[in-house]
Structure 1
């Protein structure tokens, strides 16, 4: 499957994919529990992640637009002050503290001891899930991580996605994060394979 790096011209297409792919995700349902409200603001919320990856990372997109992966390169050490969670809330849903809290909670458990590739999000169109598109999109990046000796990190937002990441060499990193009165998120770490 042909993959390319998405740019600013692809923003609307990728934002729509993220909105659709994550609409029924357990974490999205927790952040925006009311279906009609989620439909109205979820795309704005997902767009914040996309804008961060377009500005300071990389977005891999299958040529047919059916899947996208958002990556950031994270250096070792404590991060600088991060206003991303507050920006997400301001942009998407100012009266909803969960729109900020999810970013604060995941940021608090994010590893700082080693530089790593951070899979911020991967989205597969709902009607294409289960076809191996996520694996096809992630495998080249993980192979590059292996060549570079670079670990990778992510937070799985569903038990189903966690299973995919386990198959790709990720392992649970500590206890799952339980969102207040909400679902689990699994922090996962992948050591580079020895060449």
Structure 2
């Protein structure tokens, strides 16, 4: 799964900012994603389409969660010369978390609107039954569009130092039992 997501994300501007050396970018991203996936399996969710063409990683921010086990050492081991940039990225995204209980979408590996809609609808249906919000960062305009199509509202972009923007987004909690749409799926 880390390979699937890294193969997808390596071309994003934020990934280029994080690991400028294109030869090292995929392996560094894979290592970071392995840490993240391990953490999400303990404190969140990992959703994958049946054909393994797209994935979403979520962290449960409805309660405090610890940092990944031995995260400083593991991050330094994986990132090498790019460790400081990785720490800065984590710090920036942590400071911009909404102050409400939510699920945080930390990776959405697809550009396909149908795959994104399927992955997001699956997790949102569970969140809506519980009345829980969700938050995400978009790192491209295309990803921002996919999130907005799923009901996320963007705020002002956050700029990485001497780098690209990230768009924080929030999908408000739906009151359990409330109708979320009057549209019916096509037959």
Q: CA deviation at 1:185?
A: 0.5
- Post-superposition Cα deviations, 1:93-121, rounded to whole Å, max 9, x if no partner, equal 13221121100110111122x21111111
Task: Give matches, 1:24-63, under 5 Å.
Answer: 24-63=11-50
Check conservation: 1:19, 1:43, Cα contact below 8 A: yes
SS of residue matched to 1:75 = coil
Superposed CA RMSD:
2.0
Taking structure 2 as the reference length, the TM-score comes to 0.84
The reply on whether 1:99 has 2:81 as its aligned counterpart is no
Question: Please, which runs of 5 or more residues in structure 1 have no aligned partner?
Answer: 1-13
- In the alignment, does 2:117 pair up with 1:135? yes
CA distance in 1, matches of 2:40, 2:67: 14
Question: TM-score, with normalisation over the residues of structure 1?
Answer: 0.81
**Could you list the runs of 5+ residues in structure 2 that have no partner in the other structure?**
179-187
SS at match of 1:189: strand
Rounded Cα–Cα distance in structure 1 between residues aligned with 2:48 and 2:65: 29
The count of residues paired between Structure 1 and Structure 2 equals: 174
Q: Which residue number in structure 1 is paired with residue 146 of structure 2? A: 164
Q: Give distance in 2, aligned partners of 1:71 and 1:156.
A: 14
Q: How far apart are 1:179 and its partner, in Å?
A: 0.1
